[in-house]
Structure 1
Amino acid sequence: MYRNHLRIATAEGIPATIFATLLGGPFLTGFLLYLGATAGEIGFVIALTTLVNVGQVIVAFLIQRLHKRKWVLILSVFLHRVLWGATGLVPFIFAKELWVPAFIMLYISAFVANAVIGVVWASLIGDIVPGRLRGRYFGIRNTILNALGSITLFVGGFLLDKYPGGQGFLILYIIVWICVVMNVVIFLFYPDAPFERSAETKFVPMLRKPLYDGLFMKATWFLACWLLLQTLVVPLYSYVMLEVLHVSYSITSTMTVVQTIFMMISFYFWGNMNARFSNKTLLYWTLPFIAASCIAWSLNAIIPTVLALLIIHMLLGVGVGGFNQLSFNFIIGDTPKNDRPMFIAVYSAITGLTSFIGPLVGGKIFEWIEPLPRWVQVFGFQTAVGILLLLLALTVGRKVLKNPNPHSF
């Protein structure tokens, strides 16, 4: 029976991946530039997706009153997909000066619903996938969905180059709405595993469980600090390519395809390694790849731009692919089952807050350094952040994530 459940969970990810790919990444940046957004506004929009995760702490408490999670998940998915898809109507409904504010309002509403999805889906999928299969299953699932994402990126970039401006984005949003319908329908077939609720019934005692777990909190605070630095530059890679380097949509999307391909390769590698090493140890090994990706922007000074971008995105794919997969395995595998929703929520709230601050500050920094020599925007800022990340990994990261004694730091 569980094999059928895993197939449904994988099938659900197909339209969801196409949907998120065409509305996120370089296409999100491109659509915001089309609407007239500044670098600061783009950083703010990117950051919003993680800020709302702070509300997951409340969600984790409220879902304890549920016996079944499926219909709450379906309602949240419906609201998220419809509201985010509705951003495509902004140029048709609002005056031009209201395009960016209207987009932001719809975007915020969509990701409030997504905060609910984050807790409920992670809690449910953690119960659906047997513990012994998690590393391999998520490795295979992520590989399949990222392969699809690569194709989607390539097709989306081709369409925007062939049909520039509003016409190209209109085509993308038509595809998006088809995926919205498909995704919601597939969720109707989702399994609804029995929900083992926390023994605590009050909010504060329930919140204390993760907050008083020393090993969990040390890892969470380190990863939050890491994401604060990482998100100063990584979410704005597309902005630098499109607005600073002035490369085309097709090249920008191709770079994201390269990143996704290397993510797929890394999913298989990290998934197999997960059978031999702990989630936290493998998380540590992903950090130098992400730092190296930021430092590799300095290659723009000595080699052709396209070659430098290829190296940057190959390193990022290996690093971020492993980081995302292993951090997810960490919060659903290294936490107590009955209290897992609150552990997930606390992790998401803390890392969400720092991941909100990162792109917001990063976008402003790109505005502030615009009058400086061009090399500062092209690679100077990114390289400086990469060096800081590498130092953080080799010092604090080594102590927190790669400690030979699992019972002490």
Structure 2
Amino acid sequence: MDDYLGYNKPEYKRTRKLAIFEGSLFNMAFLVTQGFIVTGLALEYGASEMLIAIIGVLPTLAQLVQLLAPFVMKFFKDRKKAMLFSALIGRIPLAFIPVTLALGIKSQSLLLILLSSVAFGNSLVGTFWASIMGDVIDPEKTGKYFGRRNLILSLSTMLITPLYSFILDRYTGSLGFVIVTSMASVFAVITIVLLKSHYAPPVKTFGQGRVFKEVFGNLRFRQYLKFAVVWNFAITISGPFYAYHQLVNLEISYSYLSVMSIVASLASMMMYVVWGKISDQIGHQSVAEFGVLGATILALMWIFVTPQTAAILLPVDAVVTGIVWSAINLCIFTMMMGMIRGQSVESYVAVQAFLNGIGALGGSLLGGVVASYLKGKSITIFGIDFYGIQVIFLLGSFFRFTAFLLLKRVQTTKIKTVPQVFFNVMSTVGRRMATRPYEFPMLQLRPKKRRPEDEPLKLDLPASLEDTSDIEENTSEEPKDGADQKKRSDS
């Protein structure tokens, strides 16, 4: 019976639903450790530019520890237990941030330790969670499911970001961050309970000796790993400094940043539905390539984001960010899951995450060094103020384009590219509009006027015989027998 049900088993369905709910709450908790909120938090702790660069890429840098996933798995001999242990390491320390702020303990080293524990623990959670979800989701519906899940996650971001920003603007200084991080801590604790309710199908464990040998023996996945390393190197060079540029150089308020975040979330919500549907049809790699190229152009645009152009370019950035990063967040992950299906998921994810962490470490160190050197430097050209920190955006766009070229070499199923789909749709719509009158001629006809039921039938008679008075007199009642006989005799 279980084999017949397949992916429709009740425990599989429940796990898929719980994963959406847990992801939404975790997203609201994890939001305080990234973006403009963690940048403001780091500034509150008095962090330097180099430390801001490291803190900003901790979630990616923490993937280095995923190489330990096979050891943790071997120790617990159960994915669910390993996931819960990692969740305790990654989510409980978040509660210490508001405590240290309330007590006035503002040490940047302490903040780095707490955020590192959060990042490292949750990185391990992601490994075991991805392994479990790979077994409970139908491979043919992967894009559709994660598209819907990411849509709801974007909705949670859109709802909580304005609240966080309002609190930070309303309560300046440490108090605002105490309230925000306390809320995030409550969300994080609830997610641990939800993870405990996940169902994890039994799986074979693999020893550490097989990890690199198995993964690097897969030539197709080796090409993907080259892309992943360069991509993570590229995004961590400039990633932490977008929020820094907005807060320090452009002097933008948290409220305005939250509005832009909402715009990006709305765009993501709409596009997750689109990407989720078409990625299963044209190939996940096709959508990922479109997103990476778009993110490259977006990074290049930030060279021109200045106090004079911010009012125009920041809304553009928010919309384009929602479009291209929804494609990246959805399809790079689903593309990888498709490549390793049927393999040792823990081993593949661990090696991929480890190499991602190496790329992120190199990118963050390079970005931090460049930012420290360019700090405070600016130049005015034709009345427009440019800041030294914007050189990092140019550097980041160069490496993003390099990653795009490497992604195109990865060999997965690609039926069509996104531009081809777009032009095919536009061509079809154009032809349909031109031929619609011929395809649907009935739409061009006027509806006939309905003849009243009591209207007598009009005959094509000579004018001399068109006297119908006798007919009209008898329409309301039946003729008498004497009248009928008279008419017959007259005729």
Q: Decide: shared fold, TM above 0.5.
A: yes
1:74 maps to 84
2:66 maps to 56
Q: 229-238 or 54-63, which moves further after superposition?
A: 54-63
The alpha carbon displacement at 1:254 in A equals: 2.3
Pair 1:163 & 2:168 matched: no
Pair 1:228 & 2:233 matched: yes
1:184 maps to 192
> Of the candidates 324, 327, 332, which is equivalent to residue 332 of structure 2?
327
Aligned counterparts of 1:389 and 1:24: Cα–Cα separation in 2: 20
Aligned counterparts of 1:7 and 1:361: Cα–Cα separation in 2: 41
Q: 1:391 to 1:335 in 2, by over 3 A?
A: closer
CA contact (8 A) 1:49 1:356 kept: no
1:269 maps to 274
The alpha carbon displacement at 1:255 in A equals: 2.3
1:32 maps to 42
More relative contact order in 1 or in 2 (CA 8 Å, sep 6+)? 1
Q: 1:380 to 1:46 in 2, by over 3 A?
A: closer
> Of the candidates 102, 127, 141, which is equivalent to residue 110 of structure 2?
102
Q: 41-50 or 56-65, which moves further after superposition?
A: 56-65
1:381 maps to 392
CA contact (8 A) 1:283 1:401 kept: no
> Of the candidates 115, 118, 131, which is equivalent to residue 123 of structure 2?
115
The C-alpha deviation readout for 1:146-181, integer Å capped at 9, x for no partner, is 111111111111111111111111211221232123
Write the letter of the residue equivalent to 2:36: P
> Of the candidates 129, 135, 145, which is equivalent to residue 137 of structure 1?
145
The alpha carbon displacement at 1:371 in A equals: 4.2
Write the letter of the residue equivalent to 1:80: G
Q: 1:357 to 1:87 in 2, by over 3 A?
A: farther
Compare CA radii of gyration and give the structure with the larger one: 2
Write the letter of the residue equivalent to 2:254: Y
Aligned counterparts of 2:183 and 2:260: Cα–Cα separation in 1: 22
Identity %: 20
Alignment coverage as a number of residue pairs: 399
The C-alpha deviation readout for 1:1-50, integer Å capped at 9, x for no partner, is 13222111111122211111233321111111111112211111123332
Aligned counterparts of 2:399 and 2:128: Cα–Cα separation in 1: 35
Aligned counterparts of 1:60 and 1:285: Cα–Cα separation in 2: 33
The alpha carbon displacement at 1:247 in A equals: 0.8
Aligned counterparts of 1:188 and 1:310: Cα–Cα separation in 2: 40
2:162 maps to 154
Mapping of residues 214-253 of structure 1, within 5 Å: 214-253=219-258
Gaps of 5+ in 1: none
The alpha carbon displacement at 1:359 in A equals: 2.7
1:83 maps to 93
Mapping of residues 173-212 of structure 1, within 5 Å: 173-198=181-206, 202-212=207-217
What is the TM-score when the length of structure 2 is the normalising length? 0.76
Write the letter of the residue equivalent to 2:67: V
Secondary structure, aligned partner of 2:57: helix
Aligned counterparts of 1:301 and 1:15: Cα–Cα separation in 2: 35
Pair 1:128 & 2:136 matched: yes
> Of the candidates 16, 19, 23, which is equivalent to residue 9 of structure 1?
19
The C-alpha deviation readout for 1:66-93, integer Å capped at 9, x for no partner, is 5532122122212211112312222344
2:377 maps to 372
The C-alpha deviation readout for 1:245-295, integer Å capped at 9, x for no partner, is 111111122222222222222222221121112222322121111011111
The C-alpha deviation readout for 1:115-148, integer Å capped at 9, x for no partner, is 3212111111111222122110110011011111
2:476 maps to none
Gaps of 5+ in 2: 1-9, 380-385, 416-491
The alpha carbon displacement at 1:392 in A equals: 5.0
The C-alpha deviation readout for 1:211-242, integer Å capped at 9, x for no partner, is 11111111111221122122211332111111
Q: 1:40 to 1:312 in 2, by over 3 A?
A: same
Aligned counterparts of 1:115 and 1:390: Cα–Cα separation in 2: 26
